[in-house]
Amino acid sequence: MASKSLPGKLIVKTGKFVWTTMWQIMMSQLAPRNQTGEYIRPESQFRNSISETDKLNPYQPGANRYRLFVGMGCPWAHRTLVTRALKGLEDAIAVSVVYPSPDAGIWVLSEPELGCNTVPELYQLSQAGYKGRCTVPILWDESTNTIVNNESAEIIELLNSEFNQYAQHSDVDLYPTEHKQQIDQWNEKIYQTVNNGVYRCGFAQTQQAYDAACQELFSTLDEVDQVLAHNRYLCGDFLTLADVRLFTTLFRFDIVYYGLFKCNLRRIADYNNLGAYLRDLYQLPGVAATCDLESVKQDYYGNLFPLNPGGIIPLGPDIASLLQPHHRDKITVNP
């Protein structure tokens, strides 16, 4: 007697229901949302500073005292590596690279350090009973075995200002006092609509939330492209932390955000000014060495299961174009 198969329509409806339910459960763990389905990024918990002028501060500047724990695919951690390179702090601040575990959903150390095998264990070593998110980057104090700071925006400010006596490029100031207001304005806009904006697109759980985030993202990119028609960098003819913060998102944009995160109205390569600006920043001394294409693709396509269940990692793109001439040094800056 021939067996009867289930109707195709029922199979499809059942499959969609099961997958949608599981997707919503997984996304709720991966990406906290509000009532409209918009991704809400939790705040970092360790916000200590390093200061030589504040003698009561237990964290004083020092060579070979502090270590960065970073994931090479993470744009937030990438900021710290770029700043470290631009300041010439490679000999003063060590780096340990961690990797995401796709099954456990945590960062793991490439080899045991301080008796720890995972980033959550580092957090517990620093603060017993810690219940928050265990993220990178981490600025770690090897003298006290504690986390100084895990907020990338603050770590790069510390790297810029508090280690000049150990920096090979101490004359480089990426956050000059006279331009802080302008830099902060760019940082605020870029964080909300671009740095976090791509995540608001990729992690959106409703069409409404996605549409709003995508429109804001490309509105800011269009605005930046117009500014860069007359400015070599965001604030003029000098590099700042605002450029560093934008760069790490732009580097990943055509590689992962354009496709995986549905940020596909335009590529960065499609912008005359933004595309050349990205090449300019990539070609700055030491920066290209911080850019790990394969780790970026592996971390996003291989580990974000709800966005790429098959785990297939694309072969491209070819980033050799980032070495092409940019001609940004020929721009006449607006007065």
- The residues that are catalytic are 74, 199
User: Is the bond preceding residue 306 a cis peptide, omega within 30 degrees?
Assistant: no
Order of all β-strands in the sheet with 94-101? 116-118, 106-113, 94-101, 66-71, 138-141, 146-149
> Alpha-carbon distance 276 to 303, whole Å?
30
> Alpha-carbon distance 109 to 253, whole Å?
26
Sign of the four-CA dihedral 92, 167, 62, 116: negative
Q: Say which residues have a Cβ less than 8 Å from residue 274's Cβ, sequence separation at least 6.
A: 221, 224, 225, 228, 250, 268
Q: Residue 45 has what DSSP assignment?
A: S
66-71 vs 146-149, strand pairing mode: unpaired
* Owner of token pair 């806009």: 189
> Alpha-carbon distance 320 to 115, whole Å?
40
